[in-house]
Amino acid sequence: MPSTAFDSAIFRDAFGTPDMRAVFSDDALVARYVEVEVALARVQGRLGIIPPEAAAAIAASADPGKLDHAQLKTETDLVGYPIIGLVHQLQKQTGDAGRYLHWGATTQDIMDMATALQVRAALDLVGDDLQTLSNDLARLAEKHRATVMAGRTHLQHALPTTFGLKVAVWLSMIDRHRERLVQLRPRATMGQFGGAAGTLASLGDKGLLVHDALMKELGLATPAVPWHVARDGLAEAVCFLGLVTGTLGKIATDVMLMMQTEVAEVFEPFMPGRGASSTMPQKRNPISAELMVAIARSVRQDTGLMLDALAGSDHERATGPWHLEWIALPRAFIATAGALHQAKFLAGGLIVDAARMRKNLDMTGGLIVAEAVMMALAEKIGRGTAHDLVYAACRRSLDTGTLLLDQLAKEPKVTSAIDAASLARLVDPACYLGSADEMIARALASHARLA
């Protein structure tokens, strides 16, 4: 019976997606095992290592759909690994040709190769989701290039920025992940064929011929040496997922903070009942963002497990760390797919309240652009004097609840250096955005090159 959030009929689509679960399902995994065994036989038949007719019979008769999973479980519980039980059943399916199954291979070869095939399919799904998400973020950044809002540091108003630039920062991270994905694919999808202790001794002088032909047959990257105990490729894949979900968690955190009642600058897409409270009819909770944050923390833990498996792989065959991957790798991919699903929903329909952004920007009466006034005044009277004058005006504005512009207009040393029209422009947040628009343009250009 389902017992975790990842397989629960209630929670599983909050923490995963059907497509990614299918990649790591028992049926898919066993089918990958069979795919590898058949590919090995085909290659060895072509190379004359096993009779070609036996290879053809194996390819024609091996059928993952006819395997008895209950029997496979029984033998797995006994042996500790599923491949011996799998081969027993395949031998019955393939008759006399079955004696040539698994020729020169070891259990970990088959299991690691199946994992590499799963990871390849899973990374395809992640790549598609990242592209969709980045396209949505690019559209948001373009749409809101001129939507002025308060930039915040330490959760306080700092200087004006634009919502477009905030989104461009999100976009830049996602696009870097897309680049990382291209770079890591060959390392994360290497084939594995080393035999009992990584030397392929049972195949004599034809070991590497089989090795390289098998990688080509399955479309996997060809490693120079076996990686039975060199687990960096799979660890890198899950570390990558940690980076992706960490970024999604950052985006979600920004959205949650901006959805606070007192801020109310953006909202997750509206759907009747979504984010509702069982007791408070007015509530509109940031459900997608909450799930993204939770998943980011979950995948971080799986990243740690993969690094433990990497560090603990002893001698030529690990005594237990390998099993950590069986737990962490599928879970990390499924969870990442869930986070990306939520992120696409969020970014694809994010509601942006530009008027509220402007209202929040103006709530300090112009104090957010005090730096702009100070820098302009410094050119006339020196930075130190300008800082002291503007600082004093800021304090009076805060103490009296008046506009900064009004306080500055009362200071002769200010008005003698800056005319009224220039002073009014200086306290307009829209006039103090620095290189924000050019930065957005750069992010969008970089995105376009990846498309």
**pLDDT, position 279:** 66
Output the DSSP codes for 335-397. HHHHHHHHHHHHHHT-EE-HHHHHHHHHTTTTGGGHHHHHHHHHHHH-HHHHHHHHHHHHHHH
Distance CA 299, CA 337 (A): 11
Q: pLDDT per residue over 5-48, tens digit each?
A: 998 999 999 999 999 999 999 999 999 999 999 999 999 999 99
Strands 351-352 and 148-153, by their bridges, are: unpaired
Residues 219 and 277 in one domain: yes
Distance CA 434, CA 407 (A): 25
Residues 179 and 67 in one domain: yes
Catalytic, 154? Answer: yes
Residues 206 and 249 in one domain: yes
| Residue with more model confidence, 279 or 249 | 249
Distance CA 268, CA 350 (A): 5
What are the residues whose beta carbons fall under 8 Å from the beta carbon of 295, sequence distance 6 or more? 15, 245, 248, 249, 335, 336, 338, 339, 342
Q: Which of 331, 358, 385 is the last residue of a domain?
A: 358
Q: Which of 358, 386, 405 is the last residue of a domain?
A: 358
Asked if the structure places residue 190 within a domain, the reply is: yes
Residues 209 and 292 in one domain: yes
Residue 280 pLDDT class (50, 70, 90 cuts): low
The mean per-residue pLDDT over the stretch 129-138 comes to: 98
Output the DSSP codes for 258-301. HHSTTT--EEPPP-TTTT--SS-TT----HHHHHHHHHHHHHHH
Strand partners of residue 156: 153
Distance CA 297, CA 286 (A): 17
Residues 346 and 418 in one domain: no
| Residue with more model confidence, 271 or 381 | 381
Asked if the structure places residue 177 within a domain, the reply is: yes
Q: pLDDT per residue over 416-436, tens digit each?
A: 999 999 999 999 999 999 999
The catalytically annotated residue of 277, 416, 422, 435 is: 277
| pLDDT value at 382 more than 80 | yes
**Token pair listed for 139:** 């559209």
Asked if the structure places residue 129 within a domain, the reply is: yes
Residues 384 and 265 in one domain: no
Distance CA 372, CA 369 (A): 5
Distance CA 210, CA 200 (A): 9
Q: In terms of C-beta distances under 8 Å and separation of at least 24 residues, what long-range contacts does 375-378 make, across chains too? A: 376/418, 376/422, 376/426, 377/414, 377/417, 377/418
**pLDDT, position 214:** 98
**pLDDT, position 200:** 96
Percentage of the chain exceeding pLDDT 70: 98
The catalytically annotated residue of 88, 134, 154, 157 is: 154
Report the CATH number at residue 375. 1.10.40.30
Residue 161 contacts residue 149 (beta carbons within 8 Å): yes
Asked if the structure places residue 6 within a domain, the reply is: no
Q: pLDDT per residue over 308-359, tens digit each?
A: 999 999 998 888 899 999 999 999 999 999 999 999 999 999 999 999 999 9
**pLDDT, position 3:** 83
Residue type for position 420: A
At 108 the three-state DSSP class reads helix
Q: Which of 336, 358, 380 is the last residue of a domain?
A: 358
Residues 413 and 284 in one domain: no
Catalytic, 61? Answer: no
Residues 143 and 288 in one domain: yes
Q: Structural domain tally of the chain?
A: 2
Count of residues making up the chain: 451
| pLDDT value at 273 more than 70 | no
Distance CA 412, CA 397 (A): 16
Residues 347 and 381 in one domain: no
Domain span at residue 311?
Answer: 18-358
**Token pair listed for 75:** 């033998």
Output the DSSP codes for 136-197. HHHHHHHHTTT-EEEEEETTEEEEEEEHHHHHHHHHHHHHHHHHHHHHHHHHHSB-----TT
Residues 290 and 375 in one domain: no
The mean per-residue pLDDT over the stretch 102-109 comes to: 96
**pLDDT, position 451:** 75
Phi, psi at residue 281, to the nearest 5°?
A: -60, -20
| pLDDT value at 276 more than 60 | no
Residue 282 pLDDT class (50, 70, 90 cuts): low
Asked if the structure places residue 337 within a domain, the reply is: yes
Report the CATH number at residue 173. 1.20.200.10
**pLDDT, position 272:** 74
Asked if the structure places residue 441 within a domain, the reply is: no
The mean per-residue pLDDT over the stretch 59-79 comes to: 96
Mean pLDDT score of the chain: 94
Neighbours of 404 (CB within 10 A): 24
Residue 2 pLDDT class (50, 70, 90 cuts): confident
Asked if the structure places residue 403 within a domain, the reply is: yes
Tell me which residue has tokens 């990614």: 20
Asked if the structure places residue 71 within a domain, the reply is: yes
Residues 215 and 283 in one domain: yes
In 115-178, where do the E strands start and end? Answer: 148-153, 156-162
Residues 402 and 282 in one domain: no
**pLDDT, position 281:** 60
**pLDDT, position 374:** 92
Distance CA 119, CA 114 (A): 9
The mean per-residue pLDDT over the stretch 234-263 comes to: 97
The mean per-residue pLDDT over the stretch 110-138 comes to: 98
Residue 283 pLDDT class (50, 70, 90 cuts): low
What is the C-alpha radius of gyration for the chain, rounded to an integer number of angstroms?
30
